[in-house]
C-alpha cells in the first residue's frame, strides 16, 4: 500500500473516533453529563433542529467540563435515547474557539409535532 493509502483509512479513522468518544465519556463528570442531557432534552422539545453551539450557549461556563469533546458522547447518548438524530447538514460554528468549523445540525424527535 502507498504512503497515501496508509494515511487515508476510513475504517481506522472511524475506530479512532469511536475510541476517543468512549474515552472522553468515561472521564467526564457524571453530573455534567446529566445536566447536559437535560439541556439537550429542553432544546429538543423547544426546537425542530439544534446544534452543539445551542447546547454550549445554554450550558455556558456554569457547567463547563474539563473535556469539551465529551459533548460528542452526550450527543450520541441523546440520539440512542431517540431524542434526536444527526442530519447530513452543517452550519458554521459561532463559537470563536471553533474557528467557524462546520457543526452538525441535529433533528429533534421529541418536539411536539416533530417528524
With both helix axes pointing from N to C terminus, report the angle between 52-59 and 70-80 in degrees, rounded to the nearest 10: 110
pLDDT tens, residue by residue, 9-24: 888 888 887 888 788 7
Q: Does residue 1 register a pLDDT over 70?
A: no
pLDDT of residue 46: 96
Lowest mean pLDDT among 14-23, 33-42, 60-69, 79-88: 60-69
Task: List phi, psi (to 5°) of 108.
Answer: -75, 140
The whole-number average pLDDT for the span 46-73 is 84
Task: Determine the Cα–Cα distance for residues 60 and 54; give it in Å rounded to an integer.
Answer: 10
Q: Would you kindly state where each structural domain of the chain is located, as residue ranges?
A: 3-108
Amino acid at each position: 500500500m502507498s504512503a497515501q493509502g496508509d494515511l487515508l483509512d476510513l475504517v481506522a479513522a472511524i475506530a479512532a473516533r469511536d475510541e476517543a468518544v468512549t474515552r472522553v465519556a468515561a472521564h467526564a463528570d457524571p453530573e455534567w453529563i446529566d445536566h447536559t442531557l437535560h439541556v439537550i432534552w429542553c432544546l429538543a422539545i423547544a426546537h425542530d433542529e439544534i446544534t452543539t453551539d445551542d447546547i454550549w450557549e445554554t450550558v455556558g461556563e456554569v457547567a463547563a467540563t474539563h473535556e469539551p469533546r465529551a459533548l460528542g458522547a452526550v450527543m450520541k447518548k441523546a440520539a440512542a435515547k431517540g431524542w434526536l438524530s444527526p442530519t447530513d447538514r452543517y452550519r458554521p460554528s459561532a463559537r470563536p474557539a471553533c474557528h467557524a468549523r462546520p457543526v452538525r445540525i441535529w433533528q429533534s424527535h421529541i418536539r411536539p409535532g416533530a417528524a
